[in-house]
Structure 1
Amino acid sequence: MAMSAASLLDTFRVLSSFDPPRGALRGAPWEAYVDWAIVQGLAPLAAYNLEYRLGAGNAPEWARDKLLSIYQGSVNDNVMKLVNFKRIVGALEGRKLVLMGPASFADTLYPHVGFRPVPELQMLMKRLDVEGFAGFLANHEFVPEPDTENSGATKVVSDGRTVILLYSDVLGPRRREQAAGILERAKPMRVYGPSLFRPDLEDAVLLTAMEHARQGYAVPWVSFIDLRELVTGAKWMGGVYSRPLDVPALLSRAAEWRLERALYTSLSIVTRLFPETAPAATAALPPLRRATRELLDRTVVGPVCTPGQTSALKGMERVRRLLTGQ
């Protein structure tokens, strides 16, 4: 029996794998995939897989060239941002600054730092440290900018090349005690000096789910790869996130942070996109009412898992409030 052509979802799964199967991209929809993958932050990893793991995977030359140029740009951009950041903060002492999100994941979840685009740096700190750290960055040409993305950051600064979002009440003003717990549990990032830390594994999962919910799940699909690796213990890396989830701790914090619905939704999306994650992800699902699960599956999980969708979900503001406990 003849094999069917690869769908857009099949192509995504193959090219987002850290161990892609050979011969699975016959008839792949390159016209639909390439531009969509670039927007979704998937191009660097896809380009590497095509060129170095799949023998180009029968992709047309134009698709390879376009993806490869994004890969090379991502490597250069990440190195520029992160090396410059290390130069600035490496000697800073006496602070506890937590690097969150893409910059924290690029070197702990991905086999190459260039695979995970880092559009900006996200940092969590005590509220009293925000102005002091912003002042420190001002000595390195970082100036305040408006929070045009409505990220919830306490302050946003930029030197014209790198945007840094400074967070204090990352969980909202009513959950400062829980936010303080993130700082207390954070793990050292010695490569960036004595003052830099990254979130503990369970906190990283919840912060990722919270970001998904706050953005109405209109997030780059590379973020679902982040969550895939967090949930499955970053087995390719042997680093701080390379361990099984502490499910009781995760569910307890999800309840305290009122993020159980967001956690359910993000884990359910990852399970649908990457069926191999089902054992770990399903074990970490919060115990929601059946009606709530069905609502989230129908209004969020299903639509989000359709690749190629470029617009936010209809009525997402109402669902966003539901997901974030507002």
Structure 2
Amino acid sequence: MPPSLLETFRILSSFEPPKGSLRAAPWEEYVDWAISQGLAPLAAYNLEYRMGGGADAPEWARDRLLSIYQGSVNDNVMKLVHFKRIVDDLEGRKMLLMGGAAFAEALYPHVGFRPVLDIQVMLRRMDVDGFAGYLGQHQFRPEKDELNSGATRVVSDGRTAVYLFSDVLGAGRREELQGVFDRSKPMRVYGPSVFRPDLEDAVLLLCLEFARQGFQVPWLYFVDLRELVTGATWMGGIYSRPLEVAALQERAKAWRLERALYTALSIVERLFPHTASIVEAARPPLRRATRELLNRLVVEPVSTPGNQAVIRGADRLRRLLTGQ
């Protein structure tokens, strides 16, 4: 029986894909979808270097995916090296990298596997104007937040957008936000001012982003979450440890993100069945009616690859998932 789109996704998003033929995979459907979901670089590497003989994939599919992989490697290096040069000498500040810029080399065996489309930085509100002005000295100019990301400022040099976030947990949770800064770990490669969130905080900040986007996010983000919750076993780095489940659930409750965490973990379990035992332990307890509602309205439709339908009642859903 030929592999489904979901099975093809699971195989080609693995860091240890099983060897075998994918000749009968739904390539016409998969390739465009994988590119749109940020999955093409990792898929291309698996086909070319891990699965032997390209897993019998058609040459046109391999060529298209490989071109995306090569472009991702070059683009990531350009963006991250340029950002490093800008912030390397900054002292006396504390800023946290989030998203792809924090994950590409911490969760993925090769920095090119995880496209970094933009750079997300979390700062204290009092530091936003100063850092935006500093970036302005390096040709970064203000831009509109086209993604409705909730960033306090967005600046770009025409190649890379930098999203500056503050008060991400809301103005009433400054003590909790201070805890995120206090627990953060240095990213010394970027100089003395750049840090990244600790593991449990990284999971919850990612869930917060999912919730604010109504879970209409690229599937690459679920690969990020898979690696976070399973302890980045391929890397031996900052995120390579088991989750502290009690701390995760306690913070989720304090941040009013229990429903978002439940939903995100449930999607990861559906997409990657091998995570089931970890997800079951980490998933926050919710009322049965709430679980059934989230499963029906979010988990099931989002877990269907190729489903382009916008979830109904997206604004109401965002409020539900972010505890508003």
TM-score (norm. length: structure 2): 0.98
Say if 1:24 and 1:170 are closer, same or farther in 2 by CA, change over 3 A: farther
Whether 1:22 aligns to 2:24 is no
What is aligned with 1:223?
Answer: 221
Q: Deviations over 1:115-157 (max 9, x none)?
A: 0011110001111110111111111111111112111111111
Runs of 4+ with >6 A deviation:
none
1:61 partner amino acid: E
| SS across alignment from 1:99 | strand
Contact 2:21 2:56 in 1 (8 A): no
2:13 partner amino acid: S
What is aligned with 1:292?
Answer: 290
Counterparts of 1:81-160 in structure 2, within 5 Å, are: 81-160=79-158
Whether 1:40 aligns to 2:37 is yes
1:195 partner amino acid: S
More divergent stretch after superposition (264-273 vs 139-148):
139-148
| SS across alignment from 1:325 | coil
Q: Which of 34, 47, 51 does residue 48 from structure 2 map onto?
A: 51
Counterparts of 1:126-205 in structure 2, within 5 Å, are: 126-205=124-203
1:257 partner amino acid: W
Q: Give the CA deviation at 1:25.
A: 2.3
Q: 1:309, 1:38 → 2: CA distance?
A: 15
Contact 1:187 1:200 in 2 (8 A): yes
Q: Give the CA deviation at 1:26.
A: 4.2
Counterparts of 1:247-262 in structure 2, within 5 Å, are: 247-262=245-260
Q: Give the CA deviation at 1:281.
A: 1.3
Q: Give the CA deviation at 1:311.
A: 3.2
| SS across alignment from 2:154 | strand
| SS across alignment from 2:107 | coil
Q: Which of 279, 291, 298 does residue 277 from structure 2 map onto?
A: 279
Q: Give the CA deviation at 1:174.
A: 2.0
Contact 1:217 1:312 in 2 (8 A): no
More divergent stretch after superposition (53-62 vs 41-50):
53-62
Q: 2:306, 2:249 → 1: CA distance?
A: 32
Q: 2:309, 2:185 → 1: CA distance?
A: 36
Q: Give the CA deviation at 1:73.
A: 0.7
Q: Deviations over 1:9-41 (max 9, x none)?
A: 000000000000011524100000000000000
2:227 partner amino acid: E
Q: 1:292, 1:185 → 2: CA distance?
A: 31
More divergent stretch after superposition (216-225 vs 302-311):
302-311
Q: 2:141, 2:242 → 1: CA distance?
A: 40
Q: Give the CA deviation at 1:84.
A: 0.3
What is aligned with 1:76?
Answer: 74
Q: 2:21, 2:182 → 1: CA distance?
A: 45
Gaps of 5+ in 2: none
Counterparts of 1:204-243 in structure 2, within 5 Å, are: 204-243=202-241
1:254 partner amino acid: A
Q: 2:123, 2:64 → 1: CA distance?
A: 39
Contact 2:169 2:255 in 1 (8 A): yes
1:255 partner amino acid: K
More divergent stretch after superposition (23-32 vs 127-136):
23-32
Q: 1:311, 1:59 → 2: CA distance?
A: 29
Q: 2:240, 2:299 → 1: CA distance?
A: 27
1:145 partner amino acid: E
Gaps of 5+ in 1: none
TM-score (norm. length: structure 1): 0.98
1:260 partner amino acid: E
Contact 2:102 2:196 in 1 (8 A): yes
Q: 1:78, 1:123 → 2: CA distance?
A: 16
More divergent stretch after superposition (146-155 vs 62-71):
146-155
